[in-house]
Structure 1
Amino acid sequence: MCVVPGGLTPYLQAGDITIYWVLRAWRDTEEATVMDSVETAGFANEPTDWLIAKHDVYGAKFRKRWSD
C-alpha cells in the first residue's frame, strides 16, 4: 500500500498494470520490427557477430565461454 500526501493515491498505477502494458505492447509489435531492433542493438542471429564477440578486450573471453 502506498499513501501519497495531497490525495494523489487514487492516481497511482499499480506496478503490475504497467508490466502488463509493456508485455502487451511487445506482443502487439511485429516480429520483424523486434528482430530488426535487436540486430541494430548489436545482437545478430550468430553470436560471433555480436559486438561483444568483436570487442578488443572481452571478445576472446566471450567467444571461449560461449563455445563451452
Structure 2
Amino acid sequence: FEQLVEKSKTDEDVKNLLSVVDILVDGKFILAQRSLELHFKGSRNQRIIDCKKSLETGNVVIKEL
C-alpha cells in the first residue's frame, strides 16, 4: 500500500485507482503462512487496509473484518 501511495504522487492512473478503492488486501501470498481461518486474505502476512480512511489520515488504517 505504501508503495502505491508513493507512486500515486507521480502517476495519475495510480492516484485515480486508489481514489476508488475501498478495501485493499496488501501483501504477497505466502503459502507457508496460509490459513483457511482467515477472512478475505490468504496468508497471515497480508493486511486488509481501509484505503479511504488511510488516504484521509495519511496513516495505514487496518480494517478488521
TM-score, normalization by structure 1: 0.23
Whose relative contact order is higher, 1 or 2, with alpha carbons under 8 Å and at least 6 apart? 2
TM-score, normalization by structure 2: 0.24
Higher helix share: 1
Larger Rg: 1
